[in-house]
Amino acid sequence: MPELPEVQTIVGELNEKIKSKTIKNVRVFKYKSVRPMNKKFVQSVKRRKILGVVRRAKMIIINLSGGKHLLIHLKMTGQLVFRDRRGKGLSGGHPIAFKGELPTKFTRVMFEFTDKSHLFFNDIRRFGWIKFADKKLYESEIAKYGLEPLSKEFTLAEFKNKLRRYPNRKIKQLLMDQTLIAGVGNIYADEACFAARLLPARPALKLKEKEIKDLFKAIPRILKLSISKKGTSADTYVTTSGAEGGMMKFLKVYGRAGEKCKRCGGVVHKIKLGGRGTHFCPGCQK
């Protein structure tokens, strides 16, 4: 699924398109995709103005008038498609094919705005969801996630505290635990470990002071680089303009199993770690 840079890219582009619009009507094609799973969802969302679109972890948050929110998670195959009143549009997330016609058989929710533009939530496998949230639910949902690695709260001291909490866990598993650090997934955990010259399977308690500092510095640096390149088009992600993210050519190990290491000339390996494909170079990661 899209990670922090990909979601941030979608959020920034979507915010430009739908901020200040008012929702005229909502059609729910599959109530399994929304919460609450009934017609109250439609009545709750109608006539609300969009104040802005932001991100928390891998979640897209559309802030609405009246102190309400739409929380959206694309999961494995979710896609958001914006169409202006003339039918021109953008789609971000997973590039579900459609021949111009919307809604499609994969459309789960359609939002119609007062200016006759639309926002479609498409999802092939129906793992993604949209939740209408009041203040209580909103605060409960965002509290589930850990430190934002691009925030001021992401300090070396706090990072060390996260590592100490689970000393026997492997580094990569800690980085991907959303309750500890928000938004880092498979791609950027691999890349951060490579940048810090650490094997992803190293237990946290085995890290030396300098190694911890190097990993701490690598995480936001790599995420910022990816955001500047509009993310990585792995697992079929595309930006809301339908273009592939430009980060692929900057990746050092992810997706490069069997290829030559860009740093030491060794061979990039791939193993399963915690059920996830994990890439590293045994020549320069210790």
Please list the active-site residues.
Answer: 2-3, 58, 276
Residue 103's region, left for phi above 0, alpha for psi from -120 to 50, else beta, is: beta
> By C-alpha distance, which of 3, 15, 28 is closest to 240?
15
As a whole number of Å, the CA-based R_g of the chain is 20
CA distance 195 to 193: 5
Tokens coding 84? 């202006």
Q: How many CB atoms lie within 10 A of CB 212?
A: 18
Tokens coding 190? 């691999």
Report in angstroms the alpha-carbon separations of 143 from 68, 97, 163, 182. Answer: 16, 35, 19, 11
CA distance 65 to 189: 36
CA distance 46 to 41: 9
> By C-alpha distance, which of 222, 176, 245 is closest to 10?
245
Q: How many CB atoms lie within 10 A of CB 284?
A: 14
Tokens coding 53? 């679109």
